Structure 1
């Protein structure tokens, strides 16, 4: 699943190129996770002012309203001036005066939703309960620790939940916990302020490095220019079960948490 770094990498790969474009046509393929919320022809003539991100959602600001885009489990966006005809897994085309934005989504868990504003009920339903942005200025270590103190679940699960801090996906939660020296099974509320500060810094560092590396491509992720991510090549623990820890040489272990694989070093990461 594309996580926050992959979504941010996608945004950066086309935001400047589409800003200022006018929508000339909209094509819908097979139904996606949620309905568009407007007739496609209603979007024709609207200008795209810019592209933002909130968690794993992309927000295309229009001169009237905005589009919320989610890549789901296997979705990807492309933006170019020339395209072949839409294939069976191309479910949304936004044609503009500067190029065509296409959503490719084999599993159709992605979504494109039109809302009148970020305060509209439809938008608040999707965005209203999201936690702090880990790469934003509001990601405060004290507030992060306070949020963890209210949660009895394992820290890995709390990071994935998205209501304390948003967008820390499975790969990056394992990597951040390793860098912070915290066992993924540790109860979130047991973390002291100093340990929470270490984790806060590790989350920012890991996600920042991932964005700089173009995200992670484990199967088919690529940005809006078709480029693959390279962060997986520098992973310290993720998908390295049985291999020696890059720090202490202890074999990396794996366990299942909430139907997701977790990887950790039993020597470097303490309960």
Structure 2
């Protein structure tokens, strides 16, 4: 599933490719992708004549800001966008096509068919599902150490599922949580309320550093992810922990291990990320 760096890369690409374009018509061939309204003809009618003013992001959701509406799109497992000239053959699994007045087309392709689209009156999307309960944006200037720590540090829950919970922190998926915890030296099964002040500071810095680094190189192409121009991300070549079971840790040389935490495959170094069972009394 595309995580924050991948969705942010798609957002930046689409901003360059479709901002300022006017929608002439829309074709939907897989109705279940359209969640709001639940009528594909109404969906197409609402978008006809609208201009894409900008492309924004909230967590792992894209927000296409139009004249009167906001189109919220979730890529889920393998959804992808691409811009094509009119008349170019349409690939299999292309389920939604936005025809622009300049002769180009924005096509949504989804092999797994799990993606969703919602239309809201402008700016109302942030007040309703699926966006209303989303948590802190880790690349926002308001994502300070104090805010981050206060959100999580009293919880008797393992730190990894807390970081994966979109109601607390948005955009972090399995890859970037494993990388952040390793960089901070925190075991994925540590309970949040056992972390010291110094560990919270390291983890906050690790989350921001990891995500910024991934965005800078277009995210990670572990399976099929590409941006709106068909380009793969490169961060998978910089991964120090995720997907490296049995390889040598680049800090201590010990073997990287894999376990399951909260139902997710989890990579960690048993030497650099030691579990601490006792509660730490913070000063």
TM-score higher than 0.5: yes
Q: Which residue, 95, 100, 108 being the options, matches 1:103?
A: 108
Partner of 1:169: 173
> What does residue 15 of structure 2 align with?
15
Cα gap change, 1:128 to 1:75, in 2 (>3 Å):
same
For residues 145-204 of structure 1, give each alpha carbon's deviation from its aligned partner in whole angstroms, at most 9, with x where no partner exists. 111124222111111111221111100000000000000000112222221111111111
List aligned pairs for 1:17-96, cutoff 5 A: 17-37=17-37, 38-82=42-86, 84-96=88-100
Deviates more, 1:1-10 or 1:26-35: 26-35
The structure with the larger Rg is 2
Structure 1 residue 139 displacement after superposition: 0.7
Is residue 125–residue 132 contact of structure 2 (8 Å, CA) maintained in 1?
no
In structure 2, the residue matched to 1:146 is 150
TM-score by length of 2: 0.91
Query: Deviation string for 1:22-51 (max 9, x for gaps)?
Result: 111101121334524143122111111100
Aligned to 1:132: 136
Match of 1:164, SS state, is: coil
CA distance in 2, matches of 1:24, 1:174: 44
Q: Secondary structure at the match of 2:32?
A: coil
- Deviation by residue 1:83-111 (Cα, 9 ceiling, x = unmatched): 63434411111122353211111111101
Mapped partners of 1:66, 1:233: distance in 2: 35
Partner of 1:113: 118
Structure 1 position 198 matched with structure 2 position 202 = yes
Determine the structure 1 residue equivalent to 2:281.
none
Q: How many residues align?
A: 270
Match of 2:221 among 193, 199, 217: 217
Q: Any conservation in 2 of the 1:31–1:108 contact (CA below 8 Å)? A: no
Maintained 8 Å contact 2:259/2:265: yes
Q: Distance in 2 between matches of 1:32 and 1:218?
A: 27
Q: Deviations over 1:48-91 (max 9, x none)?
A: 11000000001001110110011011111112335634344111
RMSD of aligned residue pairs (Cα, Å) = 1.6
| Cα gap change, 1:84 to 1:147, in 2 (>3 Å) | same
- How far apart are the structure 1 equivalents of 2:218 and 2:91? 26
Q: Which ranges of structure 2 fall in alignment gaps of 5 or more residues?
A: 276-283
Q: Secondary structure at the match of 1:59?
A: strand
What's 2:280 paired with? none
Structure 2 distance, partners of 1:227, 1:79, is: 13
Structure 1: 5+ residue stretches without partners: none
> 1:259 aligned to 2:242?
no
